[in-house]
Amino acid sequence: MFSFDFIWAFAALPLPLLVTLMWRVKRSEPSSLYVPFYAIANELNYGTNSQPKKSYWQRLLLCLAWLALVTAAARPIWLGEPINIQSSGRDLLLAVDISGSMEEQDMQIEDRTVRRIDAVKAVLNEFIDRRAGDRLGLVLFGSQAYLQSPLTFDRNTVKQLLNEAELGFAGKQTAIGDAIGLSVKRLQARPAEERVMILLTDGANTAGQVQPLQAAQLAEELKVKIYTIGMGADSMVVPGIFGSSFGARTVNPSRDLDEDTLTKIADQTGGRYFRARNVSELDGIYRLLDQLEPTPEEQKNFRPRTNYFHWPLALALLISMLLAIASSRKEDIHASNL
């Protein structure tokens, strides 16, 4: 629908009429000084009239120009149809382990054995797609922790940065405490009730400047809720000589996983600890997190606005230029006739 931001600007429309009436009243008053030779001097300099009279079309164009100026000042806009926008405000930071141990191939996707990091990427991509309306951030950590993506509504960028992450980029070891500390630092400026972190790792803290439980204490003080996920299969068959079954043995690829520390981190900050032994469990964990940290259903209406003030303003300027040109030519003709 068509509307005006400053509809009250149209109150200025009668101003030229008021100014004209006041000027005529002033002219009708007797002069305070009588000059007997004024008429002769005026006729010698300008003829019978000091200024050429404006034609009907000039007056009409002047009125149209004033109307266009007032219309531009009123700021005409076109309001589109209301659009419902989901408003979340929840801030969710994903901390993903990309240390050397994530190279372990103990995950199954469609009968294929894949690396842990590949399974994480596959499941997290779907999780990110479901977080419409949330601000998502991404922290990658190995021997050091890096903020790969600040909190943003741009889920596609977060997914791209996650998919481009390579193992060893942050070092071979695991700095869980530094990852928590960096995440808490990025979340502390956000509203307290909306600070959520999901930490995924397959090992124990072996590097970094901050111990995990110290970082968890800081997170608790700043009201950052941390959900921890321990990833890795409980058992894996290692082939024997030349890949044959002869001499094959069963090992625990998750023997280095520090479940006790991950559980304490989650309990201390009001979150939960989850164990993901395979892709199905990992996907189930992230679907459960959708229920634990649901996207708010609050809706806000937005109406697209299109401004049109420049059109009447351009019309007023065009009319002014035409009147100026016409007035200049008329004065030249009038002067040549004197």
216, containing H or E segment = helix 212-221
Q: In angstroms, rounded to a whole number, what is the distance separating the alpha carbons of residues 317 and 314?
A: 5
**DSSP code for 203:** S
pLDDT at 326: 77
Give the residue carrying structure tokens 């999901």: 198
Nearest C-alpha neighbor of 213 from the set 172, 266, 173: 266
Report whether 187 contacts 207 (CB < 8 A).
no
Q: In angstroms, rounded to a whole number, what is the distance separating the alpha carbons of residues 111 and 212?
A: 36
Sign of the four-CA dihedral 282, 284, 285, 287: positive
End-to-end CA distance of the chain: 56
Distances (CA, A) of 29 to 32, 40, 68: 9, 22, 34
pLDDT at 37: 42
pLDDT at 38: 44
Bridge-based pairing of strands 107-109 and 91-97 is unpaired
Record the tokens describing residue 24, joined without a space: 């005529």
Work out the burial of residue 104: count CB atoms within 10 Å of its CB; fewer than 13 is exposed, 13-18 middle, 19 or more buried. Answer: middle
**DSSP code for 232:** -
Give me the phi and psi of 306, to 5 degrees please. -125, 120
**DSSP code for 55:** P
Report whether 144 contacts 176 (CB < 8 A).
no
In order along its 338 residues, the chain shows pLDDT tens digits of 778 888 888 888 888 888 777 777 665 555 554 444 445 444 444 444 444 555 778 788 888 888 989 999 988 888 877 766 555 557 889 999 999 889 888 788 877 888 989 999 999 999 999 887 788 999 999 999 999 999 998 999 999 999 999 998 888 999 999 999 999 999 888 776 778 999 999 889 999 999 999 999 999 999 999 999 998 888 666 655 655 555 556 666 778 889 999 999 999 999 999 998 888 888 898 888 888 776 555 556 667 788 888 898 899 899 888 888 877 776 666 556 55
Distances (CA, A) of 278 to 67, 118, 137, 141, 257: 73, 12, 25, 21, 15
pLDDT at 94: 94
Domains of the chain in sequence order: 2-81+304-336 (no CATH), 85-299 (3.40.50.410)
Nearest C-alpha neighbor of 168 from the set 140, 142, 194: 142
Record the tokens describing residue 59, joined without a space: 């007056």
Question: Whole-model pTM?
Answer: 0.61
